[in-house]
Amino acid sequence: MLNHNKILVINAGSSSIKFQVFRIDETKHQPTFTILGKGLVERIGIKDSNFIIEVANGNDFTKHEVVQDIKDHVAGAQAVIAGLIKYQVIANFDDITRIGHRMVHGGQKFNSSMVIDKTVVSGIDSCIPLAPLHNPPALKGLSAFQKLIPHAHHVAVFDTSFHTTIPQEKFLYSVPYEWYTDHEVRRYGFHGISYRYILEKLAIVMNKPQTKVNAIVCHLGNGASICAIKDGKSYNTSMGLTPLDGLIMGSRSGIIDPSIHNYMCDVKKDATIASVTNDLNKASGLLGISQHSSDLRDVIAASEDKNHPKYIQSQLAIKMFVQRIANYIVQYANDLQNNIDALVFTAGIGENSFIIRDLIINEIKILTLKLVDSKNRDKYDDFLLISDKQSQFPIYKIKTNEEIIICQDTYNLLISI
């Protein structure tokens, strides 16, 4: 008999499938979602794939790791379900009836999460030219779970849909208007699922309805972007047609002069538009400037070690990374007319690096922002106010949770099941 008290959340990438299982507890007022297990399959299609599952055990997780060959996403989905059954997160296939999928690009078609049917799949498919690195693996993940658990219902939750409220003068590029009307060239923005979580959290923390929240949120992970939220809606964001635009990232360039493409094709032997685009995505950002790593922890370590061969380069990479973020914060403060309830740092770097938060705040010269050093460094579980009372607006570090948003949307859209 089918059980309907669990939701599986899937985030499928080109060589990985991340998953989380939530139990739903329905009370009279509203449901609560408790994580039962999480993990990932990595190195799909590469030798020695890895399956990691962490099973909830009170407030802790017990981790199990298996190295096995996983040739494709179907085998990856099989490993996920077999692992969930083996470690008793679910009893059997009947325990999974609702699956929420993270979808990166919904283009102009999807301004909210959707129950997946053939039309939705073909809509996501038609967005592949806009997200050739992200949408195909997400669709592969979807199709693998559809095959494996035919009775399950699926929901797509898009990173772009939160940004569909950005006004036209901010989402348009100043290119021939037909590029927009004929080819959908515009700013879409990403990390919208994370921004929705932060917005929900801010509304609770500040005891305000979401529709009254005005904030600048810095989602600083390996991929990084920033969002101005006005009256609970995305008003501006740094990523564009693709996630390559905006901030300097782990290995992505962020904004550059678009003529660089043509110039590099002229001056570099064998360079093509595709190879330059690949370098801008995979060999630029912190990695490109530091010349040794896309991981901020490595770059910081090298920038603090005078004997490191990339000491100077690493210092430069951090300076550039921080300056660009500071400039965006100032721009968005202006966009929001200084009516700001909070500045938030989130994702791997934003949540964890007191050094980067400190450098960013020190780089902002035309707003009066002040951190409390001990708070900036303090350990925390969920969120922490890290600014001084004299700060022009409060500054928070908040741990994001994209999976819970996917779980909530899946529940809400499939409530009748």
- Positions that interact with ligand ADP (CB under 6 A): 221-223, 250, 295-297, 347-349, 352-353
What's phi and psi for 269, nearest 5 deg?
-60, 135
Work out how close the CB of 16 gets to ligand ADP at its nearest, in angstroms, rounded to a whole number: 10
Taking the least distance from each CB to ligand ADP, the nearer of 37 and 348 is 348
Q: Give me 247's structure tokens.
A: 């901030």
Q: Please tell me which residue in 48, 69, 72, 159 is annotated as part of the active site.
A: 159
CB of 35 to ligand ADP, least distance (A): 18
Pairing of strands 153-158, 383-385: unpaired
Residues 6+ positions from 272 with CB-CB distance below 8 Å: 265
Nearer to ligand ADP, 221 or 232 (CB): 221
Walk across the sheet containing 224-230 and list its strands: 233-237, 224-230, 215-220, 342-346, 395-398, 383-385
Work out how close the CB of 220 gets to ligand ADP at its nearest, in angstroms, rounded to a whole number.
7
SS (H, E, C) 184-220: CCCCCCCCHHHHHHHHHHHHHHCCCCHHHCCEEEEEE
Least distance in angstroms from the C-beta of 398 to ligand ADP: 13
- Tokens, residue 286: 């912190």
Q: Which is nearer to ligand ADP, 405 or 413 (CB)?
A: 405
Residue number of the CB closest to ligand ADP reads 348
Cβ proximity to ligand ADP, 25 vs 378, nearer residue: 378
Instruction: Starting at the earlier edge strand, list the strands of the sheet with 98-103.
Output: 60-67, 50-57, 31-42, 16-26, 6-12, 98-103, 153-158, 114-115
- CB-nearer residue toward ligand ADP: 286 or 340: 286
Look up 159 and say whether it is catalytic: yes
DSSP string, 36-69: EEEEEEESTTSSS-EEEEEEEETTEEEEEEEE--
* Dihedral in degrees, nearest 10, Cα atoms 257, 263, 268, 271: 80
Q: Can you give the C-alpha Rg of the chain in angstroms?
A: 22
157 and 100 Cβ atoms separated by less than 8 Å:
yes
Rounded least distance, CB 195 to ligand ADP, Å: 14
- Least distance in angstroms from the C-beta of 296 to ligand ADP: 4
> Do 104 and 177 contact (CB within 8 A), yes or no?
no
Toward ligand ADP, which CB reaches closer, 232 or 246? 246
What is the rounded CA–CA span in Å between residue 351 and residue 371? 15
Q: Would you name the residues annotated as active-site residues?
A: 159
